[in-house]
Amino acid sequence: MIKPQIIEKDGKPEYAVIPVAEWRRIEAMLDELEDIRALDAALARPDRRMIPFEMTSAILDGASPICAWREHRGLSLDTLADAAGVGSSRLAQLEAGKREASPDELQRLAQALQVQVDDLTDPPAP
């Protein structure tokens, strides 16, 4: 551990001087602590929903949220189409991004996939 240089003012410690490398190490630890506190707060929320990492990763890599959830649930396109009352070709178009789902279709797909409607919509562009 590095001992800081203490600068006094009026006989009392006013400043502590440390090497830049040590300060950067402390900054990194503070950033990590902030992340840990944010995660703890999110996990403590009673309404929290956890989305599996592979789902988030697949969607961020460009997969349709509908397709990503369907594959995560181990469902074939035809099985999900039947469960949601959507034609297989229509579902394929939705997954490929060639068509947009109606609110009713999103609701039925979400129910069949056991997710919330928001989980099936693309995240907003940054």
Give the per-residue pLDDT at 120: 92
What does DSSP assign to residue 5? E
Looking at residues 84-97, what average pLDDT do you find?
95
Q: Give the residue among 55, 56, 84 at the shortest CA–CA distance from 72.
A: 55
Q: Global pTM?
A: 0.61
Domain 53-120 falls in which CATH fold? 434 Repressor (Amino-terminal Domain) (1.10.260)
Locus of tokens 């797909």? 109
User: What are the residue boundaries of the structural domains of the chain, listed by start?
Assistant: 5-44, 53-120
pLDDT digits (tens, 9 = 90+) for 98-122: 999 999 999 999 999 999 998 898 6
Element (H, E) at 116: none
Give the per-residue pLDDT at 126: 47
Looking at residues 29-35, what average pLDDT do you find?
95
Contact 84, 107 (CB under 8 A): no
Tell me how crowded residue 88 is: count the other CB atoms within 10 A of its CB.
Answer: 14
